Amino acid sequence: MKKLFENKVAVVTGAGGTLCSEIAVRLAEEGAKVVLVGRTAEKLQKVADKIVANGDTCLVYPCDVTDKEAVDALAAKVEETFGPCDFLINGAGGNNIKAMPTITKFDERELTGELPEGERGLYNIDLDAFHGVLDLNTMGTVLPTLAFARQMAKNGGGNVINFASMNTYCPLTRCFAYAMSKAAVSNLTQSFAAYFAPAKIRINAIAPGFMVNERSKNYLGTVEEGLTKRGEQVIGHTPMGRFGEASDLIGCVKWLLNNDAAGFVTGITVPVDGGFLTLGGV
């Protein structure tokens, strides 16, 4: 039986991470030739081992998505190895704790250096780290999109999926750089979708809710073994009463990439959030 994405070329950035490792494996299962991109070769290799063990096809390519030269070299390698890219999943993204204050509201002691040991206000954060978060989530989406849309345009079309967040809609406390950059991801999804529509390139985004990963277990806890205060707030706001799993995103990914199912859909951001956005918090 023909698979859904037989012989499509899918580039997945952030493919060593929690969400996009699963997406990469599942696209490969559907017959796509998958290019695994991230900075750490070992993380990518673990995902590649799984794909190869399933009898599917992939290429590991370590690359920093904020480095234009490296991204252009990646695009050339993909075209040479598998042919032009059909699908780009811009999954590389994230936050940096050094870009976040530890306190949720202004405290005048942050101006005088008198905050208690270990506490950090907005005036005490590392601005280079702040800039790095903006760069990763915005230019780390823009640069691969430009590099691969060139191939898609020449090849008669393609599909891009970006990664937004619940912060796209309303910022969480302390997440300044992450929140503003994820709002930008939704915005650039719209403007790039409009620009590339004549080239038959559809560009959409997924906004995952609160998904389980190793980091989230530390700062949110788990429903089964106990939640932190922040975890209780999240679950209290999530009508479905649980955190999401990477597998919860797969249906949405397949729908957006499938021209038969979503051929008239472009420029949208789809929340996959257990209903988090349905509640105002009261």
Candidate ranges 27-35, 36-44, 121-129, 143-151; the one touching ligand NAP (CB under 6 A)? 36-44
238 lies in the binding site for ligand NAP (CB under 6 A): no
Site for ligand NAP contains 19 (CB under 6 A): yes
Site size toward ligand NAP, by CB under 6 A: 26
CB-facing half-sphere around the CA of 27: CA atoms within 13 A: 33
Indicate which residues carry an active-site annotation: 178
Cα separation, 196 vs 263, in Å, equals 14
Whole-angstrom distance between the N-terminal and C-terminal Cα of the chain?
50
Residues, the chain: 282
Other C-beta atoms within 10 Å of 184: how many? 18
Selection from 151, 154, 170, 162 nearest residue 193 by Cα: 162
Please pick, from the candidates 28, 34, 56, 66, the single residue that binds ligand NAP as defined by CB under 6 A. 66
**Is the alpha carbon torsion for 258, 262, 265, 267 positive or negative?**
negative
When asked if residue 39 is in the footprint of ligand NAP (CB under 6 A), the reply is yes
Instruction: Please give the Cα distance from 145 to 148 (Å, whole number).
Output: 5
Binder among 65, 149, 183, 235 for ligand NAP (CB under 6 A) = 65
Does 54 engage in binding with ligand NAP (CB under 6 A)? no
- DSSP secondary-structure letter at 244? B
The answer to whether 242 contacts ligand NAP (rule: CB under 6 A) is no
Interaction of residue 110 with ligand NAP, rule CB under 6 A: no
Q: Which of 10, 20, 184, 220 is the binder for ligand NAP (CB under 6 A)?
A: 20
Q: Among residues 33, 38, 183, 257, which is the contact residue for ligand NAP, using CB under 6 A?
A: 38
Per CB under 6 A, 46 contacts ligand NAP: no
Question: Per-residue x/- marks for ligand NAP, 130-169, CB under 6 A?
Answer: ------x---x----------------------x-x----
- 208 lines the binding site for ligand NAP (CB under 6 A): yes
Looking up tokens 């955190």 gives 243
Neighbours of 90 (CB within 10 A): 28
Closest distance to ligand NAP from the beta carbon of 17 (Å): 2
- Read off the tokens for 65: 């998505």
Other CB atoms within 10 Å distance of the CB of residue 226: 9
Binding site for ligand NAP (CB under 6 A): 13-14, 16-20, 38-40, 43, 64-66, 91-94, 136, 140, 163, 165, 208, 210-211, 213
